[in-house]
């Protein structure tokens, strides 16, 4: 595919975990990827690694909880590449003190600011360009906790991920007229760095049986590469060894 014909994907939270895996998978499929996140050194490493494998990648530091920064980043991507064909909203977090007994207002707000508000800011920033293109794919990383309520993930994370699923379906109800389609990708446990923030981090054995980031990367690429007339509204995906069924997972 010629350089000028490459589709452009913006991946938030692209430095680690699911976002990184999505960026790698899309780049391998010929997409031009822009990864954003808070740590410039981590993002630079991602760009170098993708370039070493022949991919096209660039990076921009960003706090998705800052609406002005998000809008400026979207405009910068459009200025450099002329379009945004896919947005992968992968930036997200949870907090160690997450139960009703421990959560603080500050902690709750921190989760909402990134998992929900930040995701909304990014969608809002790309919609005008996608409407003008008459085409666009938005992949929102939700969670198993966005479908099944669990004590493990805490009220803030559970509430935001349920909201992400609802927001995704709301987006499809209105924006299909502009050729825009959105997917709520809801994974069960994935062996990513966010696991370290749990009150009781899972063992190495448990991590090995979880979904791996590359599994989600392939899923993101599957959704993004579907023809424009196809909307994959939602995917609920889990490890075969699902710890929630054993009573010790999300």
pLDDT mean by block of 10 residues, the chain; 250 residues: 71 98 98 98 98 98 98 98 98 95 98 98 98 98 96 96 98 98 98 81 93 98 98 98 76
- The confidence score (pLDDT) of residue 4 equals 45
Active-site residue (options: 24, 27, 157, 164)? 157
- Strand arrangement of the beta sheet that strand 180-187 belongs to: 56-61, 32-37, 8-12, 86-89, 136-141, 180-187, 234-237
Tokens of 205: 């054995």
Residues whose CB is less than 8 angstroms from the CB of residue 223 and which lie 6 or more positions away in sequence, other chains included = 137, 139, 183, 185, 232, 235
CATH of 3-246, one of 2.20.25.90, 3.40.50.720, 3.40.50.300, 3.30.950.10: 3.40.50.720
Structure tokens that stand for 72 in this block: 């400026």
The answer to whether the beta carbons of residues 26 and 4 sit under 8 Å apart is no
In the chain, what are the domain boundaries? 3-246
User: What pLDDT is recorded for position 105?
Assistant: 98
What's the pLDDT at 246? 80
* Dist. CA 146–CA 137, nearest whole Å: 20
* Whether 121 is catalytic: no
């Amino acid at each position: 595919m010629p350089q000028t014909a490459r589709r452009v994907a913006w991946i938030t939270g692209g430095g680690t975990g699911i976002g990184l895996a999505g960026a790698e998978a899309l780049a391998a499929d010929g997409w031009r990827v822009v990864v954003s996140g808070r740590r410039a050194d981590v993002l630079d490493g991602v760009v170098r690694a993708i370039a070493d494998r022949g991919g096209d990648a660039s990076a921009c530091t960003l706090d998705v909880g800052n609406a002005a920064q998000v809008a400026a980043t979207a405009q910068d991507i459009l200025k450099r590449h002329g379009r945004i064909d896919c947005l992968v909203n992968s930036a997200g977090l949870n907090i160690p003190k997450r139960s009703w007994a421990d959560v603080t207002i500050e902690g709750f707000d921190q989760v909402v600011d990134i998992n929900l508000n930040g995701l909304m800011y990014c969608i809002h920033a790309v919609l005008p360009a996608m409407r003008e293109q008459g085409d666009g794919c938005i992949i929102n990383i939700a969670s198993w906790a966005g479908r099944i309520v669990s004590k493990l993930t805490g009220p803030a994370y559970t509430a935001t991920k349920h909201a992400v699923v609802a927001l995704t379906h709301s987006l499809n109800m209105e924006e299909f007229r502009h050729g825009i389609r959105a997917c709520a990708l809801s994974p069960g446990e994935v062996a990513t760095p966010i696991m370290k923030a749990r009150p009781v981090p899972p063992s190495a054995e448990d991590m090995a049986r979880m979904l791996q980031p590359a599994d989600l990367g392939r899923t993101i690429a599957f959704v993004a590469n579907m023809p424009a007339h196809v909307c994959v509204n939602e995917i609920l995906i889990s490890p075969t060894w699902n710890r929630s069924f054993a009573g010790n997972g999300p």
